[in-house]
Amino acid sequence: MRRLVLFALLVSLVSLSSRSVFACGGICRFNWGAFPQSPTAPSTVIVGGESFGFGILKVDMGGEELVSPDMEIYYDESPCLGEGFHAQHTFFCPGTYTIKLFDSANPTNTTTITILPPPRYHLVVFQGDDDHEAYVATNVSSAQRPFSYSMVDWGDGSSENFSYALRGSYAGTPNHSYATDGEYTATIKHHYEGQYCSWDHTETILVKIPVVALATNPSTWGYVKSMYR
């Protein structure tokens, strides 16, 4: 079965919007849906379905892009000539978007989709070369998310852009030296940049100076439990 016909069949089973009219000597259908490939940003959204008796002209992708869909003509069991249609767009920012379909009969077919932010990324503080030097680390998978750049605010008036480096079983920042004892709130920011929008995903962690020395490559369950005491 061709790609668009298969997609039309899927949409007919779980369609978000549909209507039927009498035309061509029989009942003509119009089924369509918008489906995120991933629930979290950035996410490519596929819009598609089947159109019997209605010409799909444009698809408004949440106000970001007006797309001319790919069309594929086919017949089904009805007397009508049908068209499968398919369009897609990548949303870089979390939010709720309204998808609009402009067809030859009714320009008011709409549905909404919600794109969520990625899950939180958890931070850990490690000692650097001495107990007044620290670095912040996260899971390697979190460091590989498709953000444009990362930045750390050390909480003592200094900040820097950085690229994650593999540090033991984690990905971490460069070392930072604190001048005095105390407690500081370090903030890690991941900046996402798309064609139509940008946004920041931030997490914070408390850094206590002097830093209690921890293994660079912790792996035991005892160490994991100690992080939450």
Q: How far apart are CA 135 and CA 120, in angstroms?
A: 19
- Label residue 180 exposed, middle or buried (CB < 10 Å: 0-12, 13-18, 19+): exposed
Give the residue ranges of the chain where pLDDT is below 70. Answer: 1-30, 52-56, 73-82, 104-108, 214-229
Cβ-contact 29, 18 below 8 angstroms = yes
pLDDT of residue 170: 98
pLDDT score for 84: 80
- Cα-Cα-Cα-Cα torsion 135, 140, 142, 148, nearest 10 degrees, comes to 80
Instruction: Retrieve residue 35's tokens.
Output: 């489906």
Q: What is the pLDDT of residue 76?
A: 57
pLDDT at residue 25 in the model: 43
* Closest by Cα among 111, 105, 113, 112 to 30: 105
The domains of the chain, with CATH numbers, are 3-115 (2.60.40), 123-226 (2.60.40)
Helix (H) or strand (E) holding 33: strand 26-36
Instruction: Please report the pLDDT score of residue 2 as a whole number.
Output: 44
3-state class of 221 per DSSP? helix
